[in-house]
Amino acid sequence: MAQPGNSPVLRPELGPLIADIQSRGLRIERVGETTRVGGAGPSDAGMISIDGVFITAPVGADFVADSPYFLREDSFGELAVFKGDERMAPAEIADRPKFYELSTADGIPYWKIALLHLDSLASTVVQTCAYWDTDDQCKFCGIELSLESGNTIPAKRPEHLAEVAVAAKELDGAVDITLTTGSTYGPDRGALYLGRCAQAMHDASGLPVEAQFEPPDDLDVINQVHDMGISAVGIHVESFDPVTLADIAPPKARTGIEGYFGAWERAVEVFGEGQVSTYVILGMGEDPDLTVEGCKRAIDMGVYPFIVPLRPVPGSLLENLLPPDADYTESIYRRVVPYLVERGIGSWTVSAGCARCQACSGMSLFEQEYIELAPASDNRTRIPVRSVS
Ligand code: SF4
């Protein structure tokens, strides 16, 4: 099959189609090797290519049973996405990565140490969180669910991660590494152990690494992480609406939205504009105007707001919520993306991680619609602008 990686797309209807599939889910007959359950990131994710664009979409949650989208073979025996009886687009499923067949010398399967998310090698280096099973647990999160399922181990060792990174690059063409961690009560919030893991992987494989962690008490930790050879950081506020944040992620609310802006300011100083990102999850009751305003303020300082629709993780505290309508998600994309592109920031400026991969969001497809707004020096392929309103 084609190599993962979101290349320029000329079909303007593809962005709204993918936004709708990511909202309503994709019904497939076999939920298995192309999916994952639990985790701190895009969990319950089917990983597929739709018309050459690699995405993740919900496949296992209960609400997916009501989705009009199916993945099945067409009359030529080719895999395609259908809406009811209408064939919408050709599709491909990623092969099982070859490195999943390997194990460490002490018998840990490589797939329990890191997973290939399309073309990005991803791992949660510490699969426990200080807030889990307390009143502080983030309601959207599924970090310990994968641990309970036996699909991973509690903590990964730097030397194991390094050998997996080399194998994923050589056998399966991984192009970067995305590392996250559960939070700790320590002043660094787990960032320094994450940095040691990232350094070992980068030194062994040469791949760029994005490290994701909570704002540390001492912002100098961000400089230390940078000095470990990390290319990009994700410091995730999740919502710019303080009321929503207090409801869905109490520890993040205690850090406060201003606390995130402070951490981003330091991170942009050391990593550079476009190398710092934050998840912004839609569909948790947030005020859309506050959301757009927060995204624009982040963009002004050089932060990429990686906007994704809520993907309720089965087993998480939000498992009974539905993802937001695609129309709502698209309306936020269309208010934020032109501002982002005009500022010269886009998925193409991010060297590693979720905002580089883009498979969990429709943002990069909308970036392509507005690319004429970008400064001329960004070396991007120009395609026609459909609308900037
Ligand atoms: S801080 Fe919140 S989102 Fe992060 S791992 Fe802990 S519970 Fe999950």
**141 CB under 6 A from ligand 1?**
yes
**183 CB under 6 A from ligand 1?**
yes
**40 CB under 6 A from ligand 1?**
yes
Q: Which two tokens stand for residue 21?
A: 């599939």
Confidence grade of residue 358 (pLDDT, cut at 50, 70, 90): confident
Confidence grade of residue 100 (pLDDT, cut at 50, 70, 90): very high
Q: Give the pLDDT confidence of 188-217 residue by residue, as tens digits.
A: 999 999 999 999 999 999 999 999 999 999
Could you tell me which residue, 371 or 6, shows the higher pLDDT?
371
CA-nearest residue, atom 2 of ligand 1: 138
Query: For 74, phi and psi rounded to 5 degrees?
Result: -90, -170
Range 167-189 average pLDDT: 94
CB 264 within 8 A of CB 294: no
Compute the distance between CA of residue 202 and CA of residue 128 in angstroms, rounded to an integer.
23
Q: Give the pLDDT confidence of 43-96 residue by residue, as tens digits.
A: 556 788 898 888 888 888 888 999 999 999 888 888 999 998 899 999 988 788
Q: What is the mean pLDDT of the chain?
A: 88
Confidence grade of residue 181 (pLDDT, cut at 50, 70, 90): very high
Provide the 3-class DSSP secondary structure of residue 151: coil
The ligand 1 atom at the shortest distance from the C-alpha of residue 141 is 8
Please tell me the distance between residue 343's alpha carbon and the centre of ligand 1 in angstroms: 30
Place of tokens 């983030």: 138
Compute the distance between CA of residue 384 and CA of residue 387 in angstroms, rounded to an integer.
9
Q: Which two tokens stand for residue 97?
A: 């990565």
Compute the distance between CA of residue 111 and CA of residue 329 in angstroms, rounded to an integer.
33
Provide the 3-class DSSP secondary structure of residue 213: coil
Q: Give the pLDDT confidence of 36-52 residue by residue, as tens digits.
A: 444 544 455 678 889 88
Q: In percent, how much of the chain has pLDDT > 70?
A: 88
H or E element: which one contains 276?
strand 276-282
**313 CB under 6 A from ligand 1?**
no
Has residue 297 got a pLDDT over 50? yes
- DSSP code of residue 83: E
The ligand 1 atom at the shortest distance from the C-alpha of residue 181 is 5
**14 CB under 6 A from ligand 1?**
no
**137 CB under 6 A from ligand 1?**
yes
Task: Kindly list the structural domains of the chain, giving each domain's residue range(s) and its CATH number in brackets, ordered by start.
Answer: 14-378 (3.20.20.70)
CA-nearest residue, atom 1 of ligand 1: 183
Cβ-in-10-Å burial (0-12, 13-18, 19+) of 115 comes to buried
Alpha-carbon radius of gyration of the chain = 19
Mutate to test the pocket of ligand 1, among 43, 131, 137 (most ligand atoms within 8 A of CB): 131
Q: Give the pLDDT confidence of 133-158 residue by residue, as tens digits.
A: 999 999 999 999 988 888 899 999 99
